Amino acid sequence: MPKWLKDTVFYEIYPQTFYDTNADGIGDIRGIIKKLDYIKELGCNALWINPCFDSPFKDAGYDVRDYKKIASRYGTNDDMKELFDTAHSKGIRVLLDLVPGHTSEEHIWFKESGKATKNEYSGRYIWTDFWIKGIANHPYIGGETERNGTYMLNFFKCQPALNYGWKEKKESWQTGMYEEDALATREAIKDVMRFWLDMGCDGFRVDMADSLVKDDDEDKSGTCEVWRDIRAMLDDEYPEAAMVSEWSNPRLAINSAGFDMDFYLDHMYNGYNTLMRDYESNEVDNSYFKSDADGDINRFLEDYLTKYSQTKNQGYISFMTCNHDTIRPSFNLNVDELKVAYAFLFTMPGVPFLYYGDEIGMKYIPDMPSKEGGYTRTGSRTPMQWNNDINDGFSMADKELLYLPVDESEAFVSVEKQMNNENSLLYTVKNILALRHRYEDLQADGSFEVICSKKDEAFSYKRGNLIILINPKNKAVSTDVDISGYEKIYEIGGMDGKLVKPQSFIIFEER
């Protein structure tokens, strides 16, 4: 596990809506380069950049047409090399988004695979051996190529599944996971990883990491074996390279598959979901950080503590404010609620991720027309709001050229509005991240111990020599935590004797 992850906070960038430097209405690599100082000053020292490879963009770049070429709308490979170099000069690491489970149907591998004549790529994807033969329990397509067979999909129709083999062969056309074609796919993905790591990339966020070996068992042992093989390559050739999985099962992703980090995703009914998005799984929103709701931190702890104990000292659970697939937390939380929620996320063990715009409370825009397969996710992918200039400072392009519309409401937020405002969300985020970097106890591998989680008292937990008290509710609550030997080092809200004021977050350090 790379040591640099210990004191790392990631900033996720959706490149097409971050910053446009050539006035074509789409963000670009040079735009990221220009904003590196902002990211550094914010307190983030690593980036996760959503897919920026050549693509027909039917799924916003998660349909890769060429793994080794930057999409022309973002720039060139040379621009990406400059980004790596410039970021490193500022102490910032960069993860790219790896999509190993499928490609675009326009990828040359797939075009060759679909030919009637057998060739090097015939086994790169999963095909049946007859034009009307289906694939049980999996989506598939037929009738679109000259090959006599149907092919499996991994997600959308435009994303044919790469062939890593089947856990157990039941049909003659299936490939075992140790057969030549399945092993060739592994090596092809390793080759892609080497290409970008050699250029300066620091690792990868892995899309749909659990989707490789088909009809895998409950513990995904086949898929885990593929990732252990890839991790062994990295350990041997690129020991400082990091990988974070889109899995949300840290016991498998970290303990079995060898990932350094696993995202705590917004899956319905899990612990993370109860913190800010309980409305997704219940008719009544009882999100813990919603001040007027009936939330209970124990709903989170019952899920999280098991996962934390299973993976402690082996890898990191990664909390995120949001991501490109998730409704922004400002959808149901106001600024004061967000301050306490973020303070909690950024003082927990593991390696946190901050989604662009969440630091200023950018809004989720409901009912926005789908863009590049975004559907309901599109409202969380709107242009970054930098200032009061044209198009919120995102682009100098004509409005009709913009990738997505900017927020034109009178109440829109921006970096410029909040930069020097001590009461702003941005100011709070910067302060919390500065504390995380300053105190090792708040970093990825610092200890974590719950002190009190009684529903009607302040939630309290210990990180090394620090005690943290939280009351996200709109009324004061009591605490019996003994802080007589401690000194307060940071607070949102505050205390009045043994009462923790409404919407408070307080950190104490042992004297």
195 and 270 inside one domain: yes
Run of H or E residues at 353:
strand 353-355
Task: CATH number of the domain at 474, please.
Answer: 2.60.40.1180
**Contact present, 407 and 385 (Cβ < 8 Å):** yes
Please count the structural domains in the chain.
Answer: 3
pTM: 0.97
The tens place of each residue's pLDDT in the chain, 511 residues long, gives 999 999 999 999 999 999 999 999 999 999 999 999 999 999 999 999 999 999 999 999 999 999 999 999 999 999 999 999 999 999 999 999 999 999 999 999 999 999 999 999 999 999 999 999 999 999 999 999 999 999 999 999 999 999 999 999 999 999 999 999 999 999 999 999 999 999 999 999 999 999 999 999 999 999 999 999 999 999 999 999 999 999 999 999 999 999 999 999 999 889 999 999 999 888 899 999 999 999 999 999 999 999 999 999 999 999 999 999 999 999 999 999 999 999 999 999 999 999 999 999 999 999 999 999 999 999 999 999 999 999 999 999 999 999 999 988 878 899 999 999 999 999 999 999 999 999 999 999 999 999 999 999 999 999 999 999 999 999 999 999 999 999 999 999 999 999 999 999 999 999 9
Tell me the Cα Rg of the chain.
23
d(CA 338, CA 346): 12
Closest among 5, 51, 13, 50 to 32, alpha carbons compared? 13
**Contact present, 54 and 66 (Cβ < 8 Å):** yes
Residue 295 CB partners (closer than 8 Å, separation 6+) = 274, 278, 286, 287, 288, 289, 472
Residues 263, 269, 272, 278, Cα dihedral to 10°: 130
d(CA 455, CA 135): 49
254 and 360 inside one domain: yes
pLDDT value of position 408: 84
Name the DSSP class of 278.
Answer: G
Domain membership flag for residue 174: no
11 and 91 inside one domain: yes
Owning domain of residue 111: 102-161
Domain membership flag for residue 175: no
435 and 498 inside one domain: no
d(CA 77, CA 83): 10
Q: Count Cβ neighbours within 10 Å for each residue of 482-501 and write b for 16 or more, e otherwise.
A: ebeebeeebbbbebeeebbb
Domain membership flag for residue 75: yes
Sign of CA pseudo-dihedral 407, 384, 12, 100: positive
Closest among 332, 376, 408, 326 to 14, alpha carbons compared? 326
Structure tokens given for 429: 């985020």
152 and 192 inside one domain: no
d(CA 149, CA 237): 39
d(CA 25, CA 18): 11
**Contact present, 37 and 74 (Cβ < 8 Å):** no
209 and 301 inside one domain: yes
What's the Cα-to-Cα distance from 289 to each of 38, 46, 329, 340, 453, rounded to whole Å? 28, 27, 10, 7, 14
What is the full DSSP assignment across 138-172?
S-EE-SSSSSSS-EEBSSSTT-BBB---BSS--ST
What's the Cα-to-Cα distance from 104 to each of 62, 231, 280, 339, 495, rounded to whole Å? 8, 25, 31, 40, 56
**Contact present, 340 and 295 (Cβ < 8 Å):** no
User: Residue 74, class by beta-carbon neighbours within 10 Å (0-12 exposed, 13-18 middle, 19+ buried)?
Assistant: buried
12 and 117 inside one domain: no
What is the full DSSP assignment across 282-324?
-SS---TT-TTS---HHHHHHHHHHHHHHHTTT-EEE-BS--T
- Which residue type, as a one-letter code, is found at position 64? V
Domain membership flag for residue 173: no
Task: CATH number of the domain at 422, please.
Answer: 3.20.20.80
Q: What SS3 state is found at 196?
A: helix
Sign of CA pseudo-dihedral 413, 414, 417, 420: positive
